[in-house]
Amino acid sequence: MRKPLRTILACLAAVLALALSTPASVNAASHEGSAPTAPSHLPVYAYFYQWFDHASWRRAKIDYPLAGRYSSSDRNVLVHQVEAARSAGLDGFLTSWKSTPSLDSRLQLLLDVAHEQHFDVGVVYEGLDFERHPLPLSQVRSDMLTLVERWGSQLTSKYFGRPLIIWTGTDQWSVSAIRSVREALGQRAYLLASAKSAEDYDRVAGVVDGDAYYWSSANPGTSYTRERLAALSAAVHRDHGIWLAPATAGFDGRPLQHHRVVPRDGGQTLVHSLQDAFASRPSAVGVISWNEWSENTYIEPGEKYGTQELDALRSYLRPGATGAKADSLLVNVDPTPSLGDQGWTGVRAGTVLALGTGLCVLLLFRRAKRVTPTHRRG
């Protein structure tokens, strides 16, 4: 029985090798270069705007902050905003920026305040002009290089190890144009697209490091919202990228001549939206928004809703929270796909092993039938 025993052992070894090697071969189709490192803590950011001066409050506003009709150049306002965000459980701001003297100064001011309070800052690069047309590629490349060369060390995320740069309007740029900016940045920053669908992301997947979906008017809790987030999440994970999922407090676009309204529901809209975001297996979550007062997505305390959203956010994110919400924050979320993401589940692996073992037994049985009569004749 030595030969049959060797046969079955060799066969089982081959099946085991297949089971172990299949996921590796699937994962070999990874993103160009090194994949982003998974953060040990799943960070929650809020989209932040530094456009405000005193004249800003005279147009397209139906509510106003409790802090007053401030200027974004006021350091005291920034200190108060960062303190309030941290106390509610936020880990950082994703601040909109394009290179102008005023916004350069305000970005530096925000970085100084954030550094003092150990608060992360990522940049949302506004790649479109006021009419929603793409900026010249040379300007985009120059602005991106300014970010990493002037502020790279201050923008380095303590969660991801490099600056996070989100490029708005990537759907209006060619893949070659995006690649040229990506190559100019090198390994000095993670460049995230702003794709709104899985198909849109797949188009640029090979030249970006992930996606940040800004969906300000999402209606949380609906199957449409969950399916859309799940599809984008799957596309980004297939590419081993960073998936920055959106969560929103509500929406009212009527000041901007839109008709869509998503009620805040006493803070429950934000809670349900956070649940949708965490269910999509994100690398980080981006709350929309800290202070978008024209679309009325803000969570900054205001005259109309007070601290309603910050209270809801705090109860959801604070370590003392109970239930699935708190548990989701304690998981070390990996932005790269798990074996299950590739369709290689425990059931499938068990099936392959069982079929392989059965095949080995069948081969052994057939071999025994051929060998036994020979011994009888001898």
Digitized pLDDT (tens) for each residue of the chain, 378 residues in all: 445 545 444 544 444 343 433 333 323 333 445 678 778 799 999 999 999 999 999 999 999 999 999 999 999 999 999 999 999 999 999 999 999 999 999 999 999 999 999 999 999 999 999 888 999 999 999 999 999 999 999 999 999 999 999 999 999 999 999 999 999 999 999 999 999 999 999 999 999 999 999 999 999 989 999 999 999 999 999 999 999 999 999 999 999 999 999 999 999 999 999 999 999 999 999 999 999 999 999 999 999 999 999 999 999 998 564 333 433 333 333 333 333 333 333 434 444 445 555 554 454 445 544 443 333 222
Phi-psi region of 226 (alpha: psi -120 to 50; beta: other; left: phi over 0): alpha
* Cβ atoms of residues 36 and 241 within 8 Å: yes
Structurally, at CATH architecture level, domain 39-337 sits in: Alpha-Beta Barrel (3.20)
The helix-helix angle for 101-116 and 75-87 (nearest 10°) equals 50
Closest C-alpha among 314, 287, 308 to residue 213: 287
Amino acid occupying residue 267: G
Question: Given the structure tokens 């201050």, which residue do they identify?
Answer: 154
Distance (Å, rounded) from C-alpha 139 to C-alpha 180? 12
| Neighbouring C-beta atoms of residue 355, cutoff 10 Å | 11
Distance (Å, rounded) from C-alpha 62 to C-alpha 65? 11
Write down the pTM of the prediction: 0.78
* Cβ atoms of residues 174 and 139 within 8 Å: no
